[in-house]
Chain A
Amino acid sequence: MDDPILHTSSTFNPQVIAAIQERAELGRYMIRGFGAFRNVPRLDDLVFLTASMTRLPLEGYREKCDTRTVLGTRFAKRPMELEIPITVAGMSFGALSKNAKVALGQAATWLGTSTTTGDGGMLPAERDASAKLVYQCLPSRYGFNPKDLKKADAIEIVIGQGAKPGGGGLLMGQKVNAVVAGMRTLPEGVDQRSPSRHPDWIGPDDLRIKIEELREATDWEIPIYIKMGATRVKDDVKLAVKAGADVIVLDGMEGGTAATQSIFQEHSGIPTLPALVQAVEALKEIGVYGEVQLVISGGIRSGPDVAKALALGADAVSIGTSALIAMGCNKPVYIEDYQALGTEPYHCHHCHTGRCPVGITTQDEDLMARLPIEEASTHVANYLQSMVMEAQSLARSCGKSSVHNLEREDLVALTLEASAMAKLPLAGTDFILGQS
């Protein structure tokens, strides 16, 4: 007999069935690492109208294309001056191994850009490795220390992140070893649930005073960023500017995390593409575009992503997951260890387990030894460099002598969704969905 034709329900597909049965065992929501798995309209859905007869390209290999980026020019005496428009996002020591944190710092330093601490304080080795370090002020305040604050090159007040806007962080007990517990003042081995609200202020009016406190503590020297997960972007951006931010960091729903409830990753926040467009509009509406800088993150993977984000109006992008992938996350090595976690290379999202097969998201000494700092730093630096070159190539082909001169005019949309979200014409037409 022929093989039977198998029917698959779209409503109860194999993933849904497995998820129901897993929760039937667990009696709670599921927790995982990585960002949204679902497909969303993204920067991939835009293409550049590079130079031809109407525009003149720059020579791809020779002519200068500036990448210098300055963040925090509004109030700080010492803005953040970067060589490239790509920064490394906040990821905690605790979620990440020490080697991973140091490698990110070193790679950022080599490229003349900044890296960021995370939920768990500033690691001395990370400060040493990073020429420019952004110090996060998170709701948990784990390890927050005025001495470290004074060593920072910028402060990032974290309101939320794209993977879990409105939700607090999680660090499962297997990663809360003696060192991590000590830095966070927590009982060793506890399943740590970070708060989702700051302890010392509630709304934007209080935040204004909080920002003044941080500026007083740092003598108004360094910029203050406000990082948010993208939800009600227009209002949130305006309120953050009113509260006194120098820089807005906006994280779309593709943004990653080491652990959160999977429902947040899939069902909350808006994608990076529309978030970016709305943030730029908000800044323009209140007349601070250019004065308050915008950093966009969440699923940035390539030079084209960088170039498109800048063309849509961002001053810089920030990367997290893709930097970890550059250093070996999901690489097809130690395959049996991926299998022991119930996964395979290219499918791993098991950062929450603390058993990272490639030594990135773990506190286990043996696993961490699989991530030599020099090699990891080189890979991240190479990857950053390649993205910068790609973005420059696209900028030159559009005739721009700086990546910051890319503009909306250089882009069109390939899909109706992207046309509506980016408010750009559908390729080859004058049609903008929702506007025309």
Chain B
Amino acid sequence: MTESLILSPPTLDCTGLTTREINQQLKKLAAAGADTVDLLNPQGRHNLAVAIEAPLKVRIRGPVGYYCGGLSEGVDIEVDGPCGWSVGENLMAGRILVKGNASACAAASAHGGTVCILGSAGPRAGISLKGGTLIVQGNVGHSSAFMMQAGTFIICGDAGHSLGDSLYDGTIYVGGEIASLGADAQLAPMTDEDNALLEQQLSPYGLATQDYAFKKIVCAKQLYHFKAQDFSKFKDAY
């Protein structure tokens, strides 16, 4: 690609570029210490802004496909539109803000940072979450927080079936209805610390804790160890 495509302030038009060229350009800008770049015409393309290791702010002006911001550390991404599967997959640090809906597996296996979806998210949101924070202003689909290991998952709307199935640890908050809890997930009483944490996490996005009746879900720890004679529990859980 030619240098002429980089205008000031940095703007990158995805039209006519390969994903590889776009990501190489983003990495170059990050290395050069640029603080913001606008990505135009993403057209639902997969794997945008993958593995960026800098506090670069990437404003994506339109819809993106799978793995937006995946494997990144420290990046600050804003998506002006919906996103496909696995946004913020394995995020280590930084922030991804999606102004539309997210498809399946939002923040899958993220280790840190914050993924915030202002719309709704599909099934398996927060699957295998290993740290950081996932916020969904709308609803989430079935099997969300499946095998979650750590971190905070805030759902302002409703949660689909099997929420938190086989989770190991971490905390889930749900502001709306829960279709059903998964194996080994249980409700726990809300405390002042929980409310303070929700306030702190939600206020930057203009969301008010008191607009929702948050419930807290944690691990019941009944599946931590193989035990004899837990007949129904183990048959269903394994």
Contacts and interface: CB of A to CB of B under 8 A. Distances in A.
Contact of B109 (A189, A200, A212, A217): A200
A273 to B, nearest CB: 32
Interface string B10-49: 0000000001100110000000000000000000001100
Interface residues of B, number: 48
Nearest to A25: B228
Interface in B119-174: 124, 127-128, 130-131, 146-147, 149-150, 166, 168-169
A206 B85 contact: yes
Contacts of B109: 141, 144, 199-200
Interface stretch (A35-43, A190-198, A326-334, A425-433): A190-198
A62 interface: no
Secondary structure dominating the interface of B? loop
Contacts of B46: 209, 212-213
Given A191-B224, A191-B225, A209 B66 contact: yes
A200 B20 contact: no
Interface of A: 25-28, 31, 140-141, 144-147, 149-150, 172-173, 184-187, 189-191, 193, 195, 199-201, 206, 209-210, 212-214, 216-220
A113 B150 CA distance: 37
Closest 8 CB pairs of A and B: A217-B51, A27-B228, A200-B108, A200-B86, A199-B128, A199-B108, A141-B109, A146-B71
A213 B168 contact: no
Contacts, number: 116
B215 interface: no
B47 A146 contact: no
A149 B128 contact: no
14 contacts: A28-B226, A146-B92, A173-B224, A186-B169, A187-B224, A191-B224, A199-B89, A199-B124, A200-B67, A200-B89, A200-B105, A209-B85, A213-B50, A213-B67
Contacts of B130: 141, 185
For A28, A187, A199, A218, the residue with the greatest tally of chain B CB atoms inside 10 Å of its CB is A199
Interface in B203-229: 223-229
A199 B105 contact: yes
B73 A212 contact: no
Contacts of A213: 46-47, 50, 66-67, 70-71, 89
B131 A185 contact: yes
A187 B169 contact: yes
A195 B128 contact: yes
A28 B228 contact: yes
Contacts of A216: 19-20, 23, 47, 50-51
A218 B70 CA distance: 12
B101 interface: no
A187 B238 CA distance: 19
A201 B234 CA distance: 27
Contact of A193 (B51, B111, B166): B166
A389 B17 CA distance: 51
Nearest to A145: B92
